[in-house]
Structure 1
């Protein structure tokens, strides 16, 4: 198994950092553009959020099956193909003649994007020594956070300079460049054992994972973490481009620099979790998420920005801990366990992201923060229940 500090560990970290960068840049590049898309196609904010929701739900469903496909074709091939195809679809999306066509292309992009996140976690758990896994997972997720930040920032700036269509096309070109880096750097799997994909067995295997109460707690945490995160950042653009702020798309896009806090927290909290216990650090992350959400209620713009930074810090730290915990508590079939975590994770994005639009339309920003507060409370309950179940079944550090 590969340990931290070796050249191979650095190559894997660089490759998956680039892969995570591409995945989140492509997935979330349209998020700050929702006000522009809403205006361009004369649709409501909730409808414009479908450009993200349909992509994430397509990713979630595809992840349930693509893990088994990687058992046959190999992790490296699936991850590389996912990055290339999804980048090409992004460039095609720039020429969408209507909203329906844009949604269809975003669905296809979600199917393509599923290949990397569904396989990367399994690749890491197979290749990285357990004591270094938290740090490796944190580096991978830091690529997600920087990619999400860059995608949002670049698309906002290009939209102000040119158009939202030009922004989507440019992100696609950027994705292809990062995909080449990924392909050149990622080392072949050393502990991968090729197997014939048993698609008929997938549903029973997935159901067997759902009977593991420890995994169900982690799946619920993934749903809540991602649901709250996407909802907050889906509608902050509407809040800040409207009264009384009237910020431009470039300025709103630049606010996503707070994702750098996620880069810091995912690696730092991953290390803390390896040292002091996952449940302890996860509880801290949930508290930071709640504090950040409450700060965004304040009318002062700088307090809102601080709130966004705190929220991103807590979210990426919490996600890095929960996702790395899945492979450790799964009794068997870790690939399917990871796929189910990501399924619930992205379903949380789709359901909460669009549902939050209805709350925003009726209750305004306080409705968004109230929903996130409920999610955090449920998250604390699940975390406590998980601790008890882990104590009963294993001596793993919790």
Structure 2
């Protein structure tokens, strides 16, 4: 019987075509645009930390200049970090609507402008207000940068990319303090902070010229109810809550130590000049290395193992810093810095990976907690130093590290229970 009489087709049934996989166009190490992006955000990190902590190494001089105590002068640091903590969530919402690059550029422009006004503050009160405004402006950088990276970089390279941004923070913090130390020794603290402002202008211009335009950003809504819903979702996530607390506690240690260390080193038995005290901050280079290698650390030890190591390293540094020997104090600062930057890079990258939506808000909540920790560390650390000396500041730091370890242990217990629940 012919095919025509049976109604059968004379053609072979077509095999359904399988769509070709869509190429991942996000940036990856070695790929086009990755180096430009990394260097641009590195410079943004340099400018952010140089401006944010521009007065920290100069606190003894500011105390003398205005005739105020260490705890009063410490508000020039706490106001900046507090302003950042308060405005980082609103700024992250603006970045969801107007774009990461736009918000980061505007934030840097305002911050460097204020930075050029800071040297002319006629009183401590005016200086504190200017520093608060500067911190609020800088709030557009950290959360927007992490959201930009989460959208534009492939997941396997995310920890490394964020580590490089954090490394820029460490270089900015180091260079700002070293430069201000030596400049202030010759020309005073006002010229020193003005110099940082000029350097930050250069970083801001280079950042804008180098950062590739985002290709994966999708504009969101500025509706307050939606924003609050996203924030509520993130705060309801137990893992994110633990990461926020860990970031805050690590920064409590770091803020307290580096706010007070200048006062300690000007006293007996050290009696160091301002330029040498500023050079102490070269230990930030250790933080640059530990932050940029955080990805490999997580690969070997896992996230919780990396956090245990970072916490233990920081605690060991705190204990070493109690000695009245300058080499041991310096070694203690090296360990504190390495542990802090490693812990910060691990926790902040885990936030970006954990959040499935509203990444800018997730990162903003982390940054808010982080800088609340910085403000608390600066203030409480200075108060403890005033009451008990350096041992008081160390005691505050050790309590914070105990909190990090406790939270990490609770995370391990929660993860084990989840595994057992899934098995049943």
Structure 2 length-normalised TM: 0.90
Matched, 1:352 2:377: yes
Does the 8 A contact of 1:49 with 1:234 survive in 2? yes
Matched, 1:21 2:21: no
Matches within 5 A, 1:302-341: 302-341=327-366
* 1:71 counterpart residue number: 96
* Deviation of 1:377 (Å): 1.2
Cα deviation digits, residues 277-320 of structure 1 (max 9, x gap) = 11111111111000111111011001101110111011101100
Could you say what secondary structure the match of 1:7 adopts? Answer: coil
RMSD: 1.4
* Deviation of 1:73 (Å): 1.4
* 1:10 counterpart residue number: 35
Aligned equivalents of 2:35, 2:417: Cα separation in 1: 36
Aligned equivalents of 1:198, 1:316: Cα separation in 2: 35
* Deviation of 1:193 (Å): 0.4
Aligned equivalents of 1:245, 1:218: Cα separation in 2: 38
Aligned equivalents of 1:319, 1:165: Cα separation in 2: 31
Aligned equivalents of 1:390, 1:119: Cα separation in 2: 30
* Change over 3 Å in CA distance of 1:375–1:174 after alignment to 2: same
* Deviation of 1:331 (Å): 4.2
Cα deviation digits, residues 218-270 of structure 1 (max 9, x gap) = 01101100111010010010000112211111000000000000000001122
Matched, 1:222 2:252: no
The runs of 5 or more residues in structure 1 that have no matched partner are: none
Cα deviation digits, residues 144-189 of structure 1 (max 9, x gap) = 0000000001011110110100011110010000111101110011
* 1:296 counterpart residue number: 321
Aligned equivalents of 2:117, 2:225: Cα separation in 1: 34
Aligned equivalents of 1:122, 1:107: Cα separation in 2: 24
Could you say what secondary structure the match of 1:115 adopts? Answer: coil
The runs of 5 or more residues in structure 2 that have no matched partner are: 1-25, 420-424
Aligned equivalents of 1:11, 1:249: Cα separation in 2: 36
Matched, 1:264 2:297: no
Aligned equivalents of 1:347, 1:302: Cα separation in 2: 31
* Deviation of 1:119 (Å): 0.4
Matched, 1:31 2:56: yes
Matched, 1:244 2:269: yes
Of the candidates 82, 91, 100, which is equivalent to residue 116 of structure 2? 91
Greater mean deviation of Cα atoms: 189-198 or 330-339: 330-339
- Paired residues, number: 394
Does the 8 A contact of 1:296 with 1:303 survive in 2? yes
Greater mean deviation of Cα atoms: 197-206 or 306-315: 197-206
Could you say what secondary structure the match of 2:215 adopts? Answer: coil
Aligned equivalents of 1:118, 1:348: Cα separation in 2: 16
Structure 1 length-normalised TM: 0.96
Larger radius of gyration: 2
* 2:367 counterpart residue number: 342
* Deviation of 1:196 (Å): 3.0
Cα deviation digits, residues 119-160 of structure 1 (max 9, x gap) = 001111111111111111111100000000000010111101
Aligned equivalents of 1:391, 1:69: Cα separation in 2: 38
Aligned equivalents of 1:166, 1:107: Cα separation in 2: 20
* 2:234 counterpart residue number: 209
Aligned equivalents of 1:63, 1:393: Cα separation in 2: 33
Aligned equivalents of 2:311, 2:182: Cα separation in 1: 32
* 2:86 counterpart residue number: 61
